[in-house]
A and B are shown apart, each in its own frame.
Chain A
Amino acid sequence: MPVLQFREALREAMSEEMRRNPDVFLMGEEVAEYNGAYKVSEGMLKEFGPQRVVDTPISEAGFSGLGIGAAMVGMRPIIEFMTFSFSLVAFDQVVNNAPKMSYMSGGQFKVPVVFRGISGPGQQLAATHSWSVEALYTHVPGLKVVVPTTPAEAKGLLKTAIRDDDPVIFLENESMYGNKGEVPEGDFLLPFGVADVKREGRDCTIVAWGQGCITALAAAEQLEKEHGIRCEVIDPRTLRPLDLPAIVRSVKKTGYCVTVETGYPTCGIGAELAALVHEHCFDDLDNHVVRVASLDVPMPYSKPLLQQVVPSVQRVADAVKKAVYFKG
């Protein structure tokens, strides 16, 4: 199986879907002539031409709305946000227009648009450029929210997103673009709403996705090696729809649950997961759910501060130890 970078897997997904369906096009800032701010769309202009790989002005509300309108008549736009921090100037389009047209029209119009780009804290980008937007968008009925962790998931989930008839928020991370992994060739699609067990274990469930999942896997490795604590890492892969049964199954087995996210704790995904786990696993839990999230402050610039604010391997490991009453 070919080994691809995360960004190459995304490119392969988009290119395959564009070859397959002429209604698919890619639009965003610097996607064409610049070859992508993070080189995700490198070479695509050459293959597909400027009608289908389209540079935009810095005008997020304009071009995200364009994508929604085009989707209402059956096109399948891929709208790239250079970062989802910039999607916030298009918030009305993303949360009011995309997810509500189907409902408000009584099902007469569908909006098969994909909004994709990076989310989460990068390399010292400070407060405005470091949004982890999954809680903001998962909150909204009508949207689907996808967070791939591996290159294979990047491809399989993006292809599914492009073929999905609903608006999809597809969250990537800058620090993961260079990650490599085996990626199946050709028509490889992963279903939404199906979690992946990234690591099996019976001592404590960790629910984590994307960047947080990579941190969680490193923590699980360390915990097993150093303390013999065997964590089960569940990656939901899609936060809406959420594979709750997979999480419940795991927690019923382990009796403990830790959530990890790069977003904020207040009204975060972890808060929702904790509520769900408490509702569905109350009698199976031997402790309350422990949440790991970024500290509840705007993201600082200074490196040593940033490293303390974003969940680290150590912070996840400490959370697991606390959850399972480990006294080492």
Chain B
Amino acid sequence: MTTISTSTSTPKAEPTTTQLMDWYRQMSVIRQFEVKCAQSYQQQKIGGFCHLYVGQEAVAVGSIAATRPQDYVITAYRDHGHAIARGMEMTPLFAELYGKASGCSRGKGGSMHFFDAEKNFFGGHAIVGGHIPLAIGLGWAAKYRKEDRVTLCYFGDGAINQGSFHEALNLAGIHKLPCIFMVENNGYAMGTHLHRSSAVTDLKLRTGDAYGIPGKEVDGMDCIAMYQMMRDGIEYCRSGNGSLFLEVKTYRYRGHSMSDPQKYRTKEEVAKYQDHDPIGRLEKLLREKKLLDDGKVAAMNDEIHAAVEKAHEEADGAAFPTTEDIWKDVYAMPFGPYLAR
């Protein structure tokens, strides 16, 4: 089987202290953003389903840190973290959550459907596994046009038993598409543990023999490991080797969505993972390197808190879409009697 360069003697990409500080900050932003979302949800400012990324921050931050602006990013419905890691501003994200016209999807998408064409962020998709075929279309277009772009496609462990996953990976394998498929394995498809949903639970094994796509495992609670794996992975794809499958071991501290009483797991289990918290781990390292201390951590958290509050307030005060907006963007080329009869 093909191996990627992480398994050879190639030196691992060591992140700079600036990068480490940046990731620490980004992960902290995501966490505080999500905490604010939980609050806004309880205040019924956010409607629909809302799936928080708390605990999984290192996955989006570490992996997207290794991308370039021209690379394509597409994910599932737990998409707040990826959007922030991709550089989307918090105000349009809160505005989207509050259904405002200035939202990143103009108030038409909500929590599960964040989009940003300028940032090459292709959503935000809520049908489990339904976006994986879109990812291979992005990869297909890049390869067809001979463009130097890699597609990052994220999904949860619930998606890997959907037909769309298997069909997409088979096609990616046939055409050697420059795509990295990442299963963010947080152990549960909603409330169903992996052991009850998957015949083969060692997920990294599922694509090698089946689709000729090498699988790797990475600790998704470790931002640095995530980054190093993705740097190598992106290089592997850019070099024309085809696709890659990553099993990212992670954990979500919150429920599947805001309406999840979490009766399927114990508080002790959650606490065990929180001991390996991705933000706490990086903070410990940065303290050892004397880049952070109590004062700096407190100052950064205060600063982030203020930024989150400011974004929330701006979004909260923004205008809702108008009645005319109902009919906008149904078609790119609208004509004929689509409009009110």
A residues neighboring B (CB under 8 Å): 25, 51, 56-57, 59, 61-75, 77, 89, 92-93, 96-97, 101-110, 112, 141-142, 144, 164-166, 192-193, 238, 240-244, 276, 279
Q: Among the listed A25, A108, A109, A142, which residue makes an inter-chain contact with B330, where contact means beta carbons less than 8 Å apart?
A: A142
Q: B141–A106 contact, CB under 8 A?
A: no
**Is residue B55 contacting chain A, with contact meaning CB distance below 8 A?**
no
Q: B164–A65 contact, CB under 8 A?
A: yes
Q: A59–B136 contact, CB under 8 A?
A: no
Which parts of B188-238 form the interface with A (CB within 8 Å)? Answer: none
Answer whether A62 and B117 are a contact pair too, CB < 8 Å, given A104-B123, A242-B337: no
Q: Binding site of A, secondary structure by majority: helix, strand, loop or mixed?
A: mixed
Q: A72-B122, A74-B141, A105-B105 are in contact. List 10 more A-B contacts (CB 8 A).
A: A62-B167, A70-B138, A92-B127, A93-B133, A102-B332, A103-B108, A106-B103, A166-B332, A243-B336, A276-B341
Which of chain A's residues have a CB closer than 8 A to the CB of B109?
A: 104-106
**Is residue B246 contacting chain A, with contact meaning CB distance below 8 A?**
no
Q: Among the listed A96, A97, A109, A193, which residue makes an inter-chain contact with B335, where contact means beta carbons less than 8 Å apart?
A: A193
Q: Among the listed B123, B137, B329, B341, which residue makes an inter-chain contact with A65, where contact means beta carbons less than 8 Å apart?
A: B137
Min distance, Cβ B226 to any Cβ of chain A, angstroms:
24
What is the size, in residues, of chain B's interface with A at 8 Å between Cβ atoms? 51
Q: B330–A96 contact, CB under 8 A?
A: no
Residue in B closest to A110 when the chains form the complex, CB atoms? B332
**Is residue B134 contacting chain A, with contact meaning CB distance below 8 A?**
yes
Q: A107–B170 contact, CB under 8 A?
A: no
Q: B133–A62 contact, CB under 8 A?
A: yes
Q: Among the listed A72, A102, A105, which residue makes an inter-chain contact with B331, where contact means beta carbons less than 8 Å apart?
A: A102
Cβ contacts A to B, 20 pairs, < 8 Å: A62-B167, A63-B133, A65-B164, A66-B168, A68-B134, A69-B74, A69-B134, A71-B137, A73-B142, A75-B141, A92-B130, A92-B164, A93-B130, A104-B124, A105-B117, A106-B107, A107-B106, A108-B116, A192-B336, A238-B336
Tell me the complex Cα distance, A279–B341, Å: 10
Min distance, Cβ B192 to any Cβ of chain A, angstroms:
20
Which of chain A's residues have a CB closer than 8 A to the CB of B335?
A: 192-193, 241
Min distance, Cβ A318 to any Cβ of chain B, angstroms:
31
Min distance, Cβ A32 to any Cβ of chain B, angstroms:
13
Which parts of B96-129 form the interface with A (CB within 8 Å)? Answer: 103-109, 113, 115-117, 122-125, 127
The residue in B127, B140, B145, B338 that gathers the most chain A C-beta atoms within 10 A of its C-beta is B140
Answer whether A65 and B133 are a contact pair too, CB < 8 Å, given A70-B141, A108-B116, A241-B338: yes
Q: B170–A62 contact, CB under 8 A?
A: yes
Which of chain B's residues have a CB closer than 8 A to the CB of A166?
A: 331-333
Residue in A closest to B113 when the chains form the complex, CB atoms? A104
Tell me the complex Cα distance, A103–B338, Å: 14
Min distance, Cβ B241 to any Cβ of chain A, angstroms:
19
Q: B115–A104 contact, CB under 8 A?
A: yes
Q: Which 3 A-B pairs have the closest CB atoms?
A: A69-B137, A65-B133, A241-B336
Tell me the complex Cα distance, A72–B332, Å: 12
Answer whether A70 and B163 are a contact pair too, CB < 8 Å, given A56-B171, A103-B330, A106-B107: no
Tell me the complex Cα distance, A57–B133, Å: 14
Min distance, Cβ B164 to any Cβ of chain A, angstroms:
5
Which of chain B's residues have a CB closer than 8 A to the CB of A109?
A: 115, 117, 122
**Is residue B131 contacting chain A, with contact meaning CB distance below 8 A?**
yes
Q: A69–B138 contact, CB under 8 A?
A: yes
**Is residue B263 contacting chain A, with contact meaning CB distance below 8 A?**
no
Tell me the complex Cα distance, A104–B174, Å: 31
Which of chain B's residues have a CB closer than 8 A to the CB of A70?
A: 137-138, 140-141, 144
Min distance, Cβ A52 to any Cβ of chain B, angstroms:
8
Min distance, Cβ B303 to any Cβ of chain A, angstroms:
30
Q: B167–A59 contact, CB under 8 A?
A: yes
Which of chain A's residues have a CB closer than 8 A to the CB of B289?
A: none
Q: B108–A106 contact, CB under 8 A?
A: yes
Q: A102–B170 contact, CB under 8 A?
A: no
Which parts of B312-341 form the interface with A (CB within 8 Å)? Answer: 328-333, 335-338, 341
Tell me the complex Cα distance, A144–B334, Å: 10
Residue in B closest to A111 when the chains form the complex, CB atoms? B332
The residue in A97, A238, A241 that gathers the most chain B C-beta atoms within 10 A of its C-beta is A97
Q: A66–B123 contact, CB under 8 A?
A: no
Min distance, Cβ B253 to any Cβ of chain A, angstroms:
28
Which of chain B's residues have a CB closer than 8 A to the CB of A112?
A: 332
**Is residue B135 contacting chain A, with contact meaning CB distance below 8 A?**
yes
Which of chain A's residues have a CB closer than 8 A to the CB of B113?
A: 104-105
